Amino acid sequence: MPVIQLGRRERKKKAVRENICEQTLHLISRYGVEGITIDAICDCVDIAKKTFYNYYSSKHDLLVDICQAELLQRTNDLITEAIAQSDDLGAQLEFVLGVLATRNSTASKLERELIGYLVSSLSTNMNQGAGQLQFMNDCFFRLYDHSKAQLKAGLSPQFCAEMTVGMTNVITLNWLHDDNYDTLARFQSLQLYLRNSMLK
């Protein structure tokens, strides 16, 4: 009997958390990240502010959670898909960077807001930023480690992952700050650069 009660409680908590995230995404799409408040989120979810704080200590923590689910996990899934599609590292990189380029060039207002928030939080909160960078590094490490025999002598999967994450972040930063930035061309150039400098 206690196990059933615990299961129900956890299911209810999960439903409330998902509703908070879902309503926050709707608000961001309408008003942007800066235009939303905890009060507005609570109104949309129909919960008390105290209930909100049972789930998140701040709006920032909520937004980081959303970015983790909406963006970082998507990158992890993308790496998994690339590995499943081909054993050729060059083809894998072309696929991953092609998807990232398309994501940027066709991003909705909501996606652009989330990407902007994720990138800005890398520098404003050192602990969370380090965690997000580590997550991205781990994603690309999986890619390079899976095909490490195809890397040039002297290059480790960890080094290649760190360089790739750094360069993709720079392209994304430039795209966020310049409406005329040719993100497709930059990702194509990056793909060519990685192929020539890292692959046998």
One domain for residues 117 and 139: yes
With 0.95 as the threshold, say if the pTM is over it. no
One domain for residues 114 and 140: yes
- Of the three residues 41, 56, 71, the one that is the final residue of a domain is 56
Beta bridge partners of 151: 199
Give the pLDDT band (50/70/90) at residue 123: low
Domain of 162: which CATH number?
1.10.357.10
Give the model's pLDDT for residue 105. Answer: 82
The residue-averaged pLDDT of 113-119 equals 84
One domain for residues 65 and 3: no
Domain limits for position 19: 1-56
CB under 8 Å to 13, separation ≥6 — which residues?
Answer: 55
Give the model's pLDDT for residue 81. Answer: 97
- C-alpha 92/C-alpha 79 separation (Å) is 8
Longest dimension (CA), the chain: 62
Residues 54-83: tens digit of each pLDDT: 999 999 889 988 988 888 888 999 999 999
DSSP class of residue 46 equals T
Structure tokens at 130: 């380090």
One domain for residues 47 and 63: no
Residues 2-43: tens digit of each pLDDT: 445 557 888 888 889 999 999 999 999 999 888 999 999 999
One domain for residues 50 and 85: no
**H runs (alpha helix) in 86-156:** 89-105, 109-124, 126-146
DSSP states of 106-122: T--HHHHHHHHHHHHHH
One domain for residues 64 and 52: no
- Of the three residues 40, 56, 72, the one that is the final residue of a domain is 56
Burial pattern 180-192, b for ≥16 Cβ within 10 A else e, equals: ebebeebbeebbe
What's the domain count of the chain? 2
